[in-house]
Structure 1
Amino acid sequence: MDVRFLQAAASFDGHVAVRPISVSLTERRIGIIGLNGSGKTTFARMINGLVQPSQGSVSINGLNTAQDGESVRSQVGFIFQNPQNQIILPILREDIELGLRAKKLMRAEVKAKVDGVLSRFGIKHLADRRVHELSGGELQLAALASVLVTEPALVILDEPTNQLDLRNRLLVQKTIDRLEEDVLVISHDLELVETFDRVLLFHEGQILMDGLPANAIRRYREIAGA
């Protein structure tokens, strides 16, 4: 994926969430870290058009997020911090099928794609379970399945290990490590991103450091007083 910000900024009701940024992202594994309110989630949401720039532009493989929103969203999947906000239907299989309805596929093809993505994440046995019965780790895998069944090239995960116990955290981390798609992860879980290709440290709406994970994490600890 080729993600480009050209002096792109985002403001809400007079509050500047992201200051003008020009950056190109092409690595397969990118982490975004920073204090709460530093602009990292807004920045990530600008990538798939959930947030439109108040100035400048954002493009994905040459597609402008403001002008080519539907095409951009077909290439970039977004998994929210709370997967329960993303999973709409009560039965897991039905929710995953929902993402395929716009494609007007034959019933057999839909079933094959859903079975395939469930098997891929080792949750085929949960297909007919009610979503509220799933554990935190299972919910994250369910959210991944519901997004990746549509075959995006890039998947963005917002705090994927938030409030998970150690077992589920390790399950989610291993799953992310094995993803074939390009991945961008927003996280306070520094261990999750320490092996990534690149880490962006956000502070007060701008990129304070951009480079190797160890360097960005060290600077973040200094800012946080850790």
Structure 2
Amino acid sequence: MPELSPPKPSHKLSPGIDLASASVRLGGRVVLDGLSLRLTEGRIGVLGRNGSGKTTLLRLIAGLIAPDRGTVRVDGVDPFRDRKATLAALGILFQNPDHQILFPTVEEELAFGLLQQGLAAADAAGRVAELLAAEGRAHWAKAPVSTLSQGQRHYLCLLAVLLMEPQTILLDEPLAGLDLPTQARLARRFAALPQRLVTITHDPAVLREADRVLWLEAGRIVADGPPDEVIPAFSAEMARIGARDADADLAG
């Protein structure tokens, strides 16, 4: 599995993400429990198995949900209450591109975020054309999104995020479900990005070059530190759990 490498050292990163005693309840169950974090590094990984609260944490940081208790700030902005400011500060790439794509053609999908930021339609169209030309994909402009492969749709979503020039990008299992060549192409692109990347994954191999890794379990931080400390502890615990026949610990 390709690794997500550190950002270019010359790029100055934004202030970062702050959570103060942030909790989330879904369906009467506590999914995130009093998280207090300051995330400022260039490459941050959030590691955990299914049901640990990873995706809920991503949605919380992105402002898609509000905390039931505590606060969340992205570069000093409440992402849930100030959506316009958050569009400039934060981008998100979901695991399934079909959960993100809204429009029938490539150029419409790429222009949408720019229009949301207040750019005039003609200017947005010009930016889209310039980007597609620079990416060697000018022929994509009028193409129906439905004609793109899974990997191409994933790349389209990344281009849509990059057009909006966010300071931080949230990646939800960014390489899962893709073939190896597509993984390699996307990993190279991620590695070249100057933005802060926060990567949510259950695969420790993706995070070996991260600056910082957080291990999330049952909505709480079990470990927080460099990958060479957190990943071996996580892997050992997953091996211990996997050695058991029962999976009753996942219930509830």
> Normalising by the residue count of structure 1, what TM-score does the alignment of the two structures yield?
0.92
Looking at structure 2, the residues matched to 122 and 187 of structure 1 have their Cα atoms a distance apart, in angstroms, of 30
Looking at structure 2, the residues matched to 26 and 122 of structure 1 have their Cα atoms a distance apart, in angstroms, of 33
Q: CA deviation at 1:108?
A: 4.1
Q: 1:214 aligns with which of 217, 228, 231?
A: 228
- Determine if the alignment matches structure 1 residue 158 to structure 2 residue 165: no
TM alignment of 1:75-114, pairs within 5 A: 75-114=89-128
Instruction: Tell which deviates more after alignment, 18-27 or 212-221.
Output: 212-221
For the residue of structure 1 that corresponds to 2:198, the secondary structure is strand
Identity %: 33
* Equivalent in the alignment of 1:173: 187
* Equivalent in the alignment of 1:129: 143
Looking at structure 1, the residues matched to 85 and 155 of structure 2 have their Cα atoms a distance apart, in angstroms, of 25
Question: AA paired with 1:101?
Answer: L
Question: AA paired with 1:199?
Answer: V
- Indicate how the Cα distance of structure 1 residues 209 and 168 shifts in structure 2: closer, same or farther if over 3 A, else same: same
Looking at structure 2, the residues matched to 107 and 202 of structure 1 have their Cα atoms a distance apart, in angstroms, of 42
Q: CA deviation at 1:103?
A: 3.8
Q: 1:51 aligns with which of 65, 69, 73?
A: 65
For the residue of structure 2 that corresponds to 1:37, the secondary structure is coil
* Equivalent in the alignment of 1:28: 42
Question: AA paired with 1:48?
Answer: A
Residues 121-176 of structure 1, C-alpha deviations (whole Å, 9 max, x = no match):
55333222221221222111100111221221111111111111111111111111
Bigger CA radius of gyration: 2
Query: Which runs of 5 or more residues in structure 2 are unaligned?
Result: 1-13, 243-252
* Equivalent in the alignment of 1:42: 56
* Equivalent in the alignment of 1:143: 157
* Equivalent in the alignment of 1:205: 219
In the TM superposition, structure 1's runs of 4+ consecutive aligned residues that sit over 6 Å from their partners are none
User: Could you tell me whether the CA contact under 8 Å between 2:32 and 2:57 is conserved in 1?
Assistant: yes
For the residue of structure 2 that corresponds to 1:64, the secondary structure is coil
User: Could you tell me whether the CA contact under 8 Å between 1:74 and 1:152 is conserved in 2?
Assistant: yes
Q: CA deviation at 1:111?
A: 2.6
Question: AA paired with 2:148?
Answer: L
Looking at structure 1, the residues matched to 194 and 120 of structure 2 have their Cα atoms a distance apart, in angstroms, of 26
For the residue of structure 1 that corresponds to 2:107, the secondary structure is helix
Query: Which runs of 5 or more residues in structure 1 are unaligned?
Result: none
Q: 1:10 aligns with which of 12, 17, 24?
A: 24
Equivalenced residues, count = 226
Instruction: Tell which deviates more after alignment, 108-117 or 22-31.
Output: 108-117
User: What is the root-mean-square deviation of aligned Cα atoms in Å?
Assistant: 1.8
Q: 1:64 aligns with which of 78, 82, 85?
A: 78
> Normalising by the residue count of structure 2, what TM-score does the alignment of the two structures yield?
0.83
Instruction: Tell which deviates more after alignment, 114-123 or 211-220.
Output: 114-123
